[in-house]
Amino acid sequence: MLKIEHLTKRFGGLAAVNDVSTTIEAGKINAIIGPNGAGKTTFFNLISGVHRPTSGTITLEGQDVTSLRTDQVAHLGVARTFQTTALFDMASVLDNLIVGHRLRTKSGLLDVLRGSSLLREEERICREKARDALNFVGLSHLENRMAGDISQEERKRVAFALALATGPRLLLLDEPAGGVNPDETQGLADLIRKMVQSGLTVCLIEHKMNMIMSLADKILVLSYGEKIAEGTPAEIQANPAVIDAYLGSEHADA
C-alpha cells in the first residue's frame, strides 16, 4: 500500500526521523510503537504531508506522494485522526461529520448562491456518507447529540467516523485508545478490526502494549527516530533491541 524509503526528517540538528524504510501492508493492521519522542507522530506527519521530508521517498500504490500537501494526500485516500479530537462542540455530531466528504464534492460559490441542483445532490451525499460512517462506528443513536456532550471514547469514535467519511484507503490513527479505559479500549480494537475487514488498511500509533500485541499484524519500532525492529508481535516481543529501548540495556540480556 505505502512504501517508505530512506525517510529522514531533520528539525535543525535533530533528526526526528532518520533513514527509516518500511512498507505499510495493504489490508493489514500496521502498528508503530516506540518510547516518547521516538518520532512516531513526525513519521505520521511525513506520510500525511504535514511535513516535507528532508530526504527519502513515500510511494502510495506506485504513486510518489513525497512532496504533496496534506489535502492532496487526503484526496488520494489517506485519512488520519489526531491524538486529541477537535470537534465543534456547539454543533450536533452529525453536523460535525458532514464536512468529512467535502473533498469528494465539487460545488463552489456559484452553486451555493444559485442553490444549484449539484449542490443539493452533493449535500445529500455528504449527509448520507456521514450517517454511514456514524453507523459504522456504532454511534447512530448520537446523531443529534451536541458534540460537546459526548464521552471521550465516543469522541474517538466520531473522529474515526470523520476520517471514514473522506472515503479513505489508508487510515492513520494517532493513539486511537489514548485516554480511554480498558473496556473501551477493547471496543475500539474491535472497531479497528472491523475497518480492516471492510477492506481498509490501518496504520496506528499506540502506547497500550496489550492492545498492540493482540491487534497488530505487523509492528514497526522506532527509537530516537530510527527503525530498531520490524516484524510480527511475537518477533517484536523477543527482540533484544526493543527490550533495550523500552526497559534499559541492563534488561536486554535477561
Partner 1 sequence: MAYLEGKLGWALLLAAGLLFPLFTGNDYHLTVMGTAYIFAIATIGLNLITGYTGQFNLAHAGFMAVGAYTVGILTVDHGWSFWGAFALSGVVTAFLGYFIGILSLRLKGHYFSIFTLCVGYIMFLVIEKWEGLTHGTVGIMGIPAPEPIGAIRFDTPLALYYLVFFWLVVGLWAMRRIVNSLLGRTFMAIRNSDELAESLGINLMRNKTLAFMLSVFYAGMSGGLYAGYVRFIGPGVAGVEHTFDMTMYMLIGGLGTLLGPLLGALAMPWLTQYLQFLQEYRFLVFGPILVLLVIFVPHGIVGTYLGWRARRAAQGGQHAQD
Binding window for partner 1 (CB under 8 A); candidates: 99-107, 182-190, 213-221, 233-241: 99-107
Residue 207, Cβ neighbours under 10 Å: how many?
A: 14
Instruction: Choose which of 35, 67, 86, 128 interacts with partner 1 (CB under 8 A).
Output: 86
Q: Which stretch binds partner 1 (CB under 8 A): 34-42, 82-90, 193-201, 237-245?
A: 82-90
Cα gap 61→245, rounded to integer Å: 32
Q: Whose CA is closest to 39, among 174, 159, 169? A: 174
Residue 102 within binding range of partner 1, rule CB under 8 A: yes
Contact between 105 and partner 1 (CB under 8 A)?
yes
Query: What b-and-e string marks burial along 54-72, b requiring 16 or more CB atoms within 10 Å of the CB?
Result: eebebebeeeebbebeeee
Interface with partner 1, residue 144, by CB under 8 A: yes
| Contact positions with partner 1 (CB under 8 A) in 185-244 | none
Q: How many residues does the chain have?
A: 254
Instruction: Compute, in degrees rounded to 10, the torsion defined by CA atoms 70, 75, 78, 84.
Output: 50
End-to-end CA distance of the chain: 37
Q: Residue with C-alpha cell 473533498?
A: 103
Minimum CB distance to partner 1 smaller for 19 or for 169:
169
Each residue 56-75 as x (binds partner 1 by CB under 8 A) or -, in order, gives: -------------xxx--xx
Residues binding partner 1 (CB under 8 A): 48, 50, 69-71, 74-75, 79-80, 82, 86-88, 90-92, 95, 98-100, 102-103, 105, 107-109, 112-113, 115, 119, 122-123, 126, 141, 143-146, 149, 162-163, 166
